[in-house]
Structure 1
Amino acid sequence: MTDVLVTVDTELSAALHQRGVTPCRNVENSIGGVVRSGAFGIGWQMDRLEEHGLKGVFFVDPMPALVYGEGVVADIVGPILARGHEVQLHAHTEWLAWAAPSPVGARRGQNIADFELTDQIVLLQGARDALERAGVPRPIAFRAGNFGADDRTLVALSKLGIVWDSSFNPAYLGGPCRIGLNADTHSPVRRHGVIELPVSGLCDRRGAVRPAQVCALSRWEMIDALRHASDAGEPAFVIVSHSFEMLSRDRCRPNRAVMARFVAMCREIADNPNLRSAGFADLDPAIASVARPDTARLAPNPVRTFGRVLEQAAATLRYERPWLPVR
């Protein structure tokens, strides 16, 4: 049985804040996915998960509370908790640029890995405590904003008693992700006192990993990757989405191609008897010791990859062009 974690990075937009968008509108658009034709954010995602009997894991970023006040965190996590989904810790440190005062003084960084260990502990503890003050049970898992963690982040999490990390995304190695694991790592592994649960994915060409992100994989790719994980006996499969991912890149209209992928993913998880919907609270830490490092990601398939390229091109033309009518 493979545990499938549908994770949603739930975050306000620093770019919208920088452009002068109000906190209320930022929440509506970035979290609620509110556009002229409806709402397609976390509420829509929870509806689809619940229709298929699935649990979502919402990695919520409380860093904007340093700018907007802590009430914004309670507004975000309240509906998630009320509907029985899981809230875990997320952190985008770019919000420090507008924080007054900042918990780390004048030091700034785009990613948590840009800070020394002592600052990382301060930032992560403050973010964790902000979630708890908003009514969230003590988080047991973390994901860095932009996947921008390093090994010091894992040490900091261990010191704070956080058991799981899911910041390792092989597609981001050489960029924001600086955790010292190689790109072949895709099973749970103990490292620096925490269990690293990597973002899952597939090989879309030799030597290239494409992450299991709803906007990154076609329906065909996602379903094949899920079936491959269950057939190989992988202990866990981690899928990534975002609170605003069902919208076009300019956040002005729904992207119904991505929405259809999300629904197809939910259906596969619900219908496959070898897959189980799970949160971090459902996982056994022993999976890090029983993981099978000899298994491989789903191998490249040129036809499948070309199909996704065509699908992406059609979706871009249909849903990413403002001159076309909104649906």
Structure 2
Amino acid sequence: MTRAIISFDTELSAGLYQRGADARANFDSSILGRCRDGDFGIHFQMDMLERHGLTGVFFVDPMPALVYGPGVIDAIVRPIVDRGHEVQVHIHTEWLAFARFNPVGRLVGRNIGDFPLAAQKKLIGLARDILVGAGAPKPVAFRAGNFGANDDTLRALAALGFGFDSSFNGAWQGQGCDISLDAGNLGMRLHHGVVEVPVSGLMDRASRFRPAQLCAMSEEEMRDALDHAAASGAIQFSVFSHSFELLSRDRKVANRLAISRMEALCRAVADDPRVTSGGLATLPPPPPRPPRIHVPAPRPLRTMRRVIQQGYGHLAHEVRYVRDVIAVAINSSRWGKIASGVLLAMA
């Protein structure tokens, strides 16, 4: 059986903090996925998983506790644990630049891989302890923010007793992801003392890897990638999203395309007898000589269909934005009847 690992990088926004957002506003936007259409964050995501009998993995970034305090992390972790989903470690080291206390002195960096081995061990150990203090079972898996890990990250994880890492993403190789593995192999394998669980995906062009991410793959591509993993005898199919990914880019409305993609993914996993759902804590290790799982080859028409679909999705959001701007103008304009006619024509 191939295990579908559906994971969510669950994180507050350092960008929102820099723009003056307090802990409540950041939590509402980044974790609850709150917009004028409703809430589409982790609770919505867990609801959808549970309707299909699936378990999710939430890689939670505890670094904002160094800025906002630990209470905000407690509010993220406890509902996930209470509902039976998995909490694992995620780190965005950008937060160190704003921290009231920097556990590694004056060292700062965008990615965990920017730090020396000793500092990486200290940061990952601290992140694990914050999550455990918030009520999570002792984490066994890690994912670097921005996929920005290197081989020292894996050595640090092994020294701390972690069993799994999921920081290897072929789309980010050479752009922050500096783990020395072959991007052409999607199979799990032991590397520097931990089992690497790479992000799954396919080739959408001859030399471009497209990761299994809700906002990156069409429903067709996701089904094809899942089918390829199961048909190849892969131990895992690893797909990821974010706690806020079901929102539009400006986070003002729901991203209906991403929501439909998540629904289709959950349905595909639930309906495939070759696939089971689960997390990393109970994932069996790979055999001593794990099979090589090749990346699925590109299909130009499939890629074209996704490009058209995403273009239409972005256009639909922009049209809705223009309609909202006109609606605001109506409230203060003597030309309301004319504007109303324009709105009706755009409906």
Give the TM-score, by structure 1 length: 0.97
The residue that corresponds to 1:83 in the other structure is 83
Once superposed, which parts of structure 1, at least 4 consecutive aligned residues long, lie more than 6 Å away?
none
The residue that corresponds to 1:38 in the other structure is 38
Query: Which residues in structure 2 correspond to 1:56-135 (within 5 Å)?
Result: 56-135=56-135
In the alignment, does 2:308 pair up with 1:306? Answer: no
Q: Can you list the C-alpha shifts for 1:14-42, whole angstroms capped at 9, x where unaligned?
A: 00000001110100110000011100001
Helix, strand or coil at the partner of 2:54: coil
* Matched AA of 2:234: E
Query: Which residues in structure 2 correspond to 1:224-239 (within 5 Å)?
Result: 224-239=224-239
For the 8 Å contact 1:248–1:320, the answer to whether it is kept is no
* Matched AA of 1:206: A
Superposition deviation, residue 325 in structure 1: 4.8
Superposition deviation, residue 231 in structure 1: 1.1
Helix, strand or coil at the partner of 2:313: helix
The residue that corresponds to 2:155 in the other structure is 155
Structure 2 CA distance for aligned equivalents of residues 247 and 320 of structure 1: 14
For the 8 Å contact 2:229–2:237, the answer to whether it is kept is yes
For the 8 Å contact 1:234–1:291, the answer to whether it is kept is no
Structure 2 CA distance for aligned equivalents of residues 189 and 160 of structure 1: 19
Considering only aligned residues, what root-mean-square deviation do their CA atoms show, in Å?
Answer: 1.3
Structure 2 CA distance for aligned equivalents of residues 96 and 320 of structure 1: 35
Superposition deviation, residue 289 in structure 1: 2.9
Superposition deviation, residue 99 in structure 1: 0.6
* Matched AA of 2:100: A
- Count residues in correspondence: 325
Structure 2 CA distance for aligned equivalents of residues 237 and 289 of structure 1: 19
Superposition deviation, residue 228 in structure 1: 1.3
Helix, strand or coil at the partner of 2:152: helix
Superposition deviation, residue 141 in structure 1: 0.1
Helix, strand or coil at the partner of 2:295: coil
Structure 1 CA distance for aligned equivalents of residues 287 and 315 of structure 2: 43
For the 8 Å contact 1:187–1:288, the answer to whether it is kept is no
For the 8 Å contact 2:52–2:270, the answer to whether it is kept is yes
* Matched AA of 1:239: V
Change over 3 Å in CA distance of 1:227–1:324 after alignment to 2 = farther
Structure 2 CA distance for aligned equivalents of residues 217 and 224 of structure 1: 10
Q: Can you list the C-alpha shifts for 1:52-111, whole angstroms capped at 9, x where unaligned?
A: 000000000000000011111110011101110000000000000111220011111000
For the 8 Å contact 2:185–2:295, the answer to whether it is kept is no
* Matched AA of 2:307: V
Change over 3 Å in CA distance of 1:271–1:290 after alignment to 2 = farther
Structure 2 CA distance for aligned equivalents of residues 92 and 125 of structure 1: 14
Structure 1 CA distance for aligned equivalents of residues 291 and 259 of structure 2: 33
Helix, strand or coil at the partner of 1:227: helix
Q: Can you list the C-alpha shifts for 1:104-150, whole angstroms capped at 9, x where unaligned?
A: 11111000000000110111111110001001110000000000000
* Matched AA of 2:138: R
1:315 to 310, 313, 316: 313
Superposition deviation, residue 288 in structure 1: 4.8
Superposition deviation, residue 206 in structure 1: 1.0
Task: Mark the structure with the bigger radius of gyration.
Answer: 2
Flag structure 2 segments of 5+ consecutive residues without an equivalent. Answer: 326-346
For the 8 Å contact 1:249–1:320, the answer to whether it is kept is no
Change over 3 Å in CA distance of 1:320–1:82 after alignment to 2 = farther
For the 8 Å contact 2:248–2:255, the answer to whether it is kept is yes
Change over 3 Å in CA distance of 1:167–1:225 after alignment to 2 = same
Superposition deviation, residue 208 in structure 1: 1.4
For the 8 Å contact 1:8–1:241, the answer to whether it is kept is yes
Give the TM-score, by structure 2 length: 0.92
Identical-residue share of aligned pairs (%)? 53
Query: Which residues in structure 2 correspond to 1:255-270 (within 5 Å)?
Result: 255-270=255-270
Q: Can you list the C-alpha shifts for 1:153-206, whole angstroms capped at 9, x where unaligned?
A: 000000100010000001001101011112212111111110001000001111
Structure 2 CA distance for aligned equivalents of residues 156 and 315 of structure 1: 41
Structure 1 CA distance for aligned equivalents of residues 22 and 67 of structure 2: 12
For the 8 Å contact 1:166–1:198, the answer to whether it is kept is yes
